Structure 1
């Protein structure tokens, strides 16, 4: 059984706003990297990670993949 860790509301809002500014997922991931965040994919799920130490910050909602 996999327990999903949800993102905190301010981080989810930030990530969602950044996605709206981008024309592609690639551009969005590049922008997030500039702020120190990354998207890790595993078993069909996407997770937001902190690039500095690789810590998992939460599961990305399916509408943002």
Structure 2
């Protein structure tokens, strides 16, 4: 079983890799949905969430917001 930090690291690797390959924010979010993840906007910032578990995984670093 993955630890929380290990899971977050693996998810962030996917998020960052897909961001580099995507041309737009919309395409990036579409690509992430294929992995079962979504980007949610909250009062605290953007959060990576699991679509399957329905729970937040981690916050997005500021450099990925643009």
Normalization by structure 1: what TM-score? 0.82
Q: Which runs of 5+ in 2 are unaligned?
A: none
SS state of the match for residue 57, structure 1?
strand
Tell me what 1:43 maps to: 43
The correspondence of residues 1-65 of structure 1 with structure 2, limited to 5 A, is 8-43=8-43, 45-65=45-65
Normalization by structure 2: what TM-score? 0.80
Structure 1 consecutive aligned stretches of length 4 or more whose deviation exceeds 2 Å: none
- Report the aligned-residue RMSD: 1.7
How many aligned positions are there? 60
Q: Which runs of 5+ in 1 are unaligned?
A: 1-5
